């Protein structure tokens, strides 16, 4: 591999990400853009040195910190790959900039807003009309099981549980996981399966394929407006955040939450500890072995 070109090495690196780490297609595409963009600036990534890394930092000066952080992450992983493969003798990526990109806390709905959203959806679905019942079913799975938008709309009919109260979901990078379905969600799901049009392999069919993410966003925002909740506060991901935060408030373990959400790294899940920091402080005060002891003791 030592004589391979920069373009070939980028392809080899991306193939490794896909095969060994199960990276999603969007991640592969983003890394490709970042690496090819860096090579356009430097001429050759494998032969780049520390000064070249500083040059990249200067070229990215006007970009958002989060964008720079992503580009740097792509390059650090790429150079780590080249080092492991024996293509380069030393890793120059230590000289890349380290922007302090602060991850924003997720937007969530409070319990009252969630209740209002469900009350509206349940009221509209009482007559078992297909469209309102479909919306209620999707709402149950977004908030009740914490699914991502893409995971939800692309669910095959075969994922619907028969005996066990679980859905089989294919998440990022093609990774499958089991997510629980509550008793109430199972009831709504059963009603929808009986009412939906037959002949499609998807749980939420639309035309020759499945419902789109864009249409899912639209349906949720329309429902929120009818429930007197600002449409800007609603999205599938906001409902997923509410699922996670409200579970944490109820005492769920962070590792369990990581499994339910399908996070590869628990660091991604830990953002919810900032949302529910008050409960965590109370938990330490109540459960720590020294909680009942005073300084005089």
Give the pLDDT confidence of 57-79 residue by residue, as tens digits: 888 888 888 788 889 889 999 99
- Are both 87 and 124 inside the same structural domain? no
Instruction: Identify whether 106 is part of a domain.
Output: no
Does 222 lie in the same domain as 148? Answer: yes
Question: Picking from 16-20, 169-173, 242-246, which range would have the lowest pLDDT averaged per residue?
Answer: 169-173
Q: Quick one: pLDDT band at residue 224, thresholds 50, 70, 90?
A: very high
Task: Tell whether 27 is covered by a domain.
Answer: yes
CB atoms within 10 A of CB 25: 11
Active-site choice (71, 196, 210, 240): 240
From the candidates 148, 210, 241, 246, which is the catalytic residue? 148
Q: Say yes or no: 167 and 243 in one domain.
A: yes
The token pair that represents 120 in the structure block: 């509206």
Is 79 marked active-site? no
Q: Is residue 100 part of a domain?
A: no
Parallel, antiparallel, or unpaired for β 176-180 and 166-170? antiparallel
User: Residue 4 — pLDDT band, cuts 50, 70, 90?
Assistant: low
pTM: 0.60
Residue 148 belongs to domain spanning: 111-281
- List pLDDT tens digits, range 188-211: 998 999 888 878 899 999 988 999
Residue 255: active-site member: no
Q: Is residue 288 part of a domain?
A: no
The pLDDT, as a whole number, for residue 290 is 65
Verify that 41 and 150 share a domain, yes or no. Answer: no
Instruction: Tell whether 84 and 115 lie within a shared domain.
Output: no
With respect to residue 290, please indicate whether it lies within any of the assigned structural domains.
no
Q: Is 31 tagged catalytic?
A: no
Q: Is 148 a catalytic residue?
A: yes
User: Would you call 240 a catalytic residue per the annotation?
Assistant: yes
Residue tagged 């970009």 (tokens): 63
Cα Rg of the chain, angstroms: 24
Number of domains in the chain: 2
Looking at the structure, do residues 118 and 243 belong to the same domain, yes or no?
yes
pLDDT for 168-186, tens place per residue? 787 776 777 888 888 888 8
- Average pLDDT rounded to a whole number, residues 144-170: 84
Is 122 found in the same domain as 73? Answer: no
Looking at the fold, whether 64 and 146 belong to one and the same domain comes out as: no
**Catalytic site includes residue 210:** no
Q: What's the first-to-final CA gap in the chain, in angstroms?
A: 67
Same domain, 86 and 56: yes
49: left (phi over 0), alpha (psi -120 to 50) or beta: beta
Q: Residue 23 domain-assigned?
A: yes
Q: Which of 172, 191, 221, 226 is catalytic?
A: 172
DSSP state for residue 209 in the 8-state scheme: E
């Amino acid at each position: 591999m030592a004589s391979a070109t920069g373009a070939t090495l980028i392809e080899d690196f991306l193939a490794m990400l896909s095969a060994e780490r199960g990276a999603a297609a969007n991640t592969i595409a983003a890394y490709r853009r970042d690496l090819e963009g860096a090579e356009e600036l430097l001429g050759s990534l494998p032969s780049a040195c520390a000064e070249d890394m500083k040059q990249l930092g200067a070229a990215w000066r006007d970009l958002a910190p989060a964008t720079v952080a992503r580009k740097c992450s792509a390059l650090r992983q790429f150079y780590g790959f080249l080092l492991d493969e024996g293509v380069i003798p030393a890793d120059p990526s230590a000289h890349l900039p380290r922007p302090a990109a602060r991850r924003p806390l997720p937007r969530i709905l409070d319990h009252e807003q969630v209740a209002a959203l469900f009350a509206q959806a349940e009221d509209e679905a009482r007559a078992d009309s297909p469209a309102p019942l479909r919306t209620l079913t999707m709402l149950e799975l977004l908030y009740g099981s914490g699914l991502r938008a893409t995971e939800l709309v692309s669910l095959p009919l075969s994922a619907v549980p028969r005996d066990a109260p679980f859905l089989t979901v294919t998440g990022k990078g093609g990774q499958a996981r089991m997510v629980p379905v509550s008793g109430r969600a199972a009831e709504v799901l059963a009603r929808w399966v009986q009412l939906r049009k037959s002949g499609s392999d998807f749980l939420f069919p639309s035309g020759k394929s499945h419902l789109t993410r864009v249409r899912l966003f639209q349906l949720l925002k329309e429902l929120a407006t009818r429930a007197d909740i600002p449409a800007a506060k609603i999205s599938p991901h906001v409902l997923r955040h509410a699922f996670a935060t409200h579970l944490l408030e109820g005492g769920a373990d962070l590792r369990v939450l990581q499994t339910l959400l399908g996070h590869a790294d628990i660091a991604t899940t830990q953002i919810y500890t900032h949302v529910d920091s008050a409960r965590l402080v109370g938990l330490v005060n109540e459960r720590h072995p020294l909680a009942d002891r005073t300084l005089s003791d």
